[in-house]
Amino acid sequence: MDFDFSILNPKARSLVGLNISSSAVKMVELSGGRGGDYQLECYAIEPLPEGAVMDGNISNHDGVTEAIARCWKRLDTATKYVAMALPAAAVITKKIILPAGLRESAMEVQVESEANQYIPFTLEEVNLDFQVIGPTPTDPDEVEVLIAASRKEGVEDRVACAEAAKLKPVVMDVESYATLAAFELVRDQFSGSTAERIFALVDIGANAMKVTVMRGDQQIYNREQAFGGNQLTQDIVRAYGMGYEEAETLKRTGPMPDNYEAEILRPFLDNLALEISRAMQFFFTSTQYSEVDHIVLMGGGALLPGVAQVVAERTQIDTVMANPFAKMTMSQRVRPKQLLQDAPSLMVACGLALRRFDQ
């Protein structure tokens, strides 16, 4: 097995978080700001051609490579090392218990033997990595170890596109882990203790909506629903007889025709709020919980004007836009007003950029 390419541990100090979503390439670069805080150096978003990424898999390598190259050029940085991520569905993770004090080579043997038991592929087909989490709560002579395994082709496709764009991937993370790293920065913005509060993170992507419910640091529920921002794009295509890419650009930058807000945007937002309300009901009926304190909206679909207000009205739950950069200092290259609009779609890229500060 080859443990050189790390899924879980970065090896480079200066790092750009590179997120390939189903509709865009997003990049974020952070540095250590004053007083140990973070500073946002720069970020960029570049749309992808329609269908370039399907169900988390890259189907148009040239289109993705070109978008990465354009995005990096707009980022205007000298840093070529990137942290990337795989969709959670493409990664099998499992915690195992091993004796403390094992040498790394002995631990690799144990990890491979454990992995053989639960990975439905041969070890030659997967990238396998592990990270020691720490001593087990019950026995100081044992350690918890997180194993992560993914099909090589998923990793290799992403690496190939980044390398073709002249970048150097050094970390391959999991999108859900990157999101939770950025979410810690969002949670810190709420006043008072948040240890017992229940947060529903709603990631509105192009094709799917992912709901993750957190209580403290514990993930207590997750669900994916087939509803996303592409439905609005298709509505625009049908209403105004334009191409998909033109509709995507119009959706992002405007200006929109006079009837757009009342006849197209508002019905879409109502449907979105209904889907989120249903997701909350699924959470209540399948767990022992009966309330959520805050809904945090993220992803490209969270950029639509008025979305937080419509969701709050429908669910009767405090709803905010995710902004992991709210307490950071900004370099002069960042336009604060534009960042406020873009922040909810940059959670994964921000979480990946944070890998620079891992010990």
265-299 pLDDT, tens per residue?
Answer: 999 999 999 999 999 999 999 999 999 999 999 99
Q: What CATH number matches the domain at 191-321, 1.10.3720.10, 3.30.420.40, 3.90.440.10, 3.20.20.60?
A: 3.30.420.40
Instruction: Please report the pLDDT score of residue 227 as a whole number.
Output: 93
Instruction: Please report the pLDDT score of residue 35 as a whole number.
Output: 57
Instruction: Please report the pLDDT score of residue 359 as a whole number.
Output: 58
Instruction: Please report the pLDDT score of residue 194 as a whole number.
Output: 82
Residue listed under structure tokens 């949670």? 187
Instruction: Please report the pLDDT score of residue 59 as a whole number.
Output: 92
* Contact assessment for residue 76 and residue 99, using Cβ atoms and an 8 Å cutoff: no
Instruction: Please report the pLDDT score of residue 337 as a whole number.
Output: 93
pLDDT class of 11 with cuts at 50, 70, 90: very low
Token pair recorded at residue 7: 């899924």
pLDDT, average across residues 5-10:
49
Closest residue by Cα to residue 155 from 172, 141, 138: 172
Which residues face 218 on adjacent strands? 215
Alpha-carbon span 217 to 222, nearest angstrom: 14
Token pair recorded at residue 337: 């007003």
Taking each continuous run of H as one helix and of E as one strand, the counts in the chain are 11, 16
Q: Among 85-94, 215-224, 235-244, whose mean pLDDT is lowest?
A: 85-94
Domain boundaries, the chain: 16-88+154-181+328-357, 191-321
CA distances from 128 to 69, 119, 351 (A): 28, 10, 21
Alpha-carbon span 273 to 276, nearest angstrom: 5
Same CATH topology for 16-88+154-181+328-357 and 191-321? yes
* Contact assessment for residue 19 and residue 43, using Cβ atoms and an 8 Å cutoff: no
Instruction: Please report the pLDDT score of residue 36 as a whole number.
Output: 64
pTM of the full predicted structure?
Answer: 0.86
| Length of the chain counted residue by residue | 359
Instruction: Please report the pLDDT score of residue 276 as a whole number.
Output: 97
Give CA angle at 224 (223, 229), nearest 5°. Answer: 140
Q: Model confidence over 33-43: pLDDT tens digits? A: 555 689 999 99
Token pair recorded at residue 189: 């913005």
Instruction: Please report the pLDDT score of residue 34 as a whole number.
Output: 57
pLDDT, average across residues 230-243:
92
Instruction: Please report the pLDDT score of residue 88 as a whole number.
Output: 84
Q: Model confidence over 72-112: pLDDT tens digits? A: 999 999 999 999 999 888 888 888 888 888 888 888 888 88
Instruction: Please report the pLDDT score of residue 237 as a whole number.
Output: 93
For residue 1, the SS3 value is coil
Instruction: Please report the pLDDT score of residue 266 as a whole number.
Output: 95
* Contact assessment for residue 20 and residue 52, using Cβ atoms and an 8 Å cutoff: no
For residue 311, the SS3 value is helix
Give CA angle at 76 (250, 357), nearest 5°. Answer: 105
Question: In this structure, which amino acid lies at residue 267?
Answer: P
Q: Model confidence over 114-155: pLDDT tens digits? A: 888 877 777 788 888 888 888 888 888 899 888 888 888 888
For residue 293, the SS3 value is coil
Q: Model confidence over 303-347: pLDDT tens digits? A: 898 999 999 999 999 999 999 999 999 999 999 999 999 999 999
Question: In this structure, which amino acid lies at residue 195?
Answer: A
CA distances from 352 to 167, 180, 252 (A): 15, 10, 24
* Contact assessment for residue 5 and residue 127, using Cβ atoms and an 8 Å cutoff: yes
Q: Which helix (H) or strand (E) holds 178?
A: helix 175-187
pLDDT, average across residues 198-215:
94
Residue listed under structure tokens 């992403």? 158
Instruction: Please report the pLDDT score of residue 214 as a whole number.
Output: 95
**Phi-psi region at 8: left, alpha or beta (left = phi > 0; alpha = psi -120 to 50):** alpha
- The correct answer on CATH 3.30.565.10 for the domain covering 16-88+154-181+328-357 is no
Residue listed under structure tokens 């709020």? 273
* Contact assessment for residue 127 and residue 112, using Cβ atoms and an 8 Å cutoff: no
